[in-house]
Copies of this chain bind each other. A is one copy, B any other.
């Protein structure tokens, strides 16, 4: 590590199914990028494309003016930003921290306050669009934090996504992402129940889906997930255990705000059952398997009928 701070150099923490392609877009755009992720081997493809390795998030931050992270769970976010070897320990005054993980709104407020005390700006900028959005740089990015800071880093975010919208102060990006996940949760329950009803009623599944998808019953989930379900394709996409994490955050926040969200709570419980059956790393469209099992329906027979 050079140890020198540079506005032009980017830091990137977290090279999972989302982070790796996103970081790759910055390399492709000609930026110098220092990277850290849990397992160094994961970084090799990016190191081969010119990224520089750092042993800790703090070291990443020492070399960079803008430091991104997209990791797993709120505990990971806390560690990579606020931990003893976290980005905040290494970042210089004037740096910008950008958390793209879907995480707790209150934690983002905490990070922003800790950063501000050191003259550092922090944004929460979770994304929607899944792994395909990360690969194709078509993510929707929901940003919380100082609006002027967002404008400083907007050119970088535009390399990663298509829609970048300021949602309010620190934590507001996460709250907006929760709105997104709350919508998806109940919509997916409806999609799965409707599909299973159609099967039990003996309807031709393609015919009925075609009839309803373009009308008032239509949704992105219906149009995009039912073909995968009917093909027996349960690969992620967006993994069940990550969705459970997101719904848990939303339920915690709703409880804190004294907001009753029975539809979200039901969806979360069905996803927990699905994960208990071993589908935690499969895609969220697997929900249909949990609902099929509730009614003793063998999904293989459904796909065979489609």
List residues of A whose CB falls within 8 A of some B CB.
105, 128-130, 140, 142, 163, 165-168, 172, 175-176, 178-187, 189-191, 193-194, 196-198, 200-204, 207-208, 210-212, 214-222, 224, 250, 253-254, 257-264, 266-267, 270, 291, 294-297
Contact = CB atoms under 8 A, between A and B. Distances in A.
Given A189-B186, A193-B182, A208 B258 contact: no
Contact of A180 (B140, B217, B263): B217
B168 A216 contact: no
B214 A163 contact: yes
30 contacts: A105-B201, A128-B212, A130-B216, A140-B211, A140-B212, A165-B210, A167-B207, A167-B208, A175-B201, A180-B212, A180-B217, A183-B194, A185-B190, A186-B193, A187-B187, A187-B190, A187-B219, A190-B190, A196-B261, A197-B253, A197-B254, A216-B220, A216-B224, A217-B220, A219-B219, A258-B295, A259-B295, A260-B294, A260-B295, A263-B266
A214 B219 CA distance: 10
A266 B257 contact: no
Contacts of A167: 203-204, 207-208, 211
Contact of A183 (B183, B212, B262): B212
Nearest to A139: B215
A189 B263 contact: yes
Given A189-B262, A200-B257, A218-B219, 19 more contacts: A140-B212, A165-B207, A167-B208, A167-B211, A175-B197, A175-B208, A176-B208, A179-B212, A179-B217, A183-B219, A186-B187, A186-B193, A187-B190, A196-B261, A200-B254, A216-B224, A217-B220, A258-B296, A260-B291
**Copy number in this complex?**
2
B187 A217 contact: yes
B216 A128 contact: yes
Main secondary structure of the interface of A (DSSP, over half): helix
A180 B220 contact: no
A210 B140 CA distance: 11
A280 to B, nearest CB: 20
Looking at A130, A200, A201, A214, the one whose CB has the most chain B CB atoms below 10 A away is A201
A207 B261 CA distance: 22
A216 B259 contact: no
A3 B263 CA distance: 55
B262 A197 contact: no
